Amino acid sequence: MWNIVLKDLKLMLYDKKKIVALILMPIILITILSFALVGSFQEMGSQWTLNIAIVTAYDREADIERFERFMKTLGSSVTEEINMDTAAMIEQFDPEKIFFDEFLGSDGMVDFFNYQVVSMDEAMSMLSNKQVNSVIIMPASYVYNALVNTFTPFRNNTTFTVMAHPELNYSRLITEEVVQGFGEAKGVYLVRG
Low-confidence ranges of the chain (pLDDT < 70): 38-47, 76-84, 184-193
Burial class (CB in 10 A: 0-12, 13-18, 19+), 70: middle
Domain boundaries, the chain: 2-36, 50-192
Question: Using one digit for the tens of pLDDT, what is the confidence trace for 136-176?
Answer: 999 999 999 888 888 888 888 888 889 988 888 778 888 88
Q: What is the pLDDT of residue 140?
A: 92
pLDDT score for 82: 58
At the topology level, CATH places domain 50-192 in abc type-2 transporter like fold (3.40.1710)
> How many C-beta atoms surround the C-beta of residue 5 within 10 A?
9
Question: 0.85 cut: is pTM over it?
Answer: no
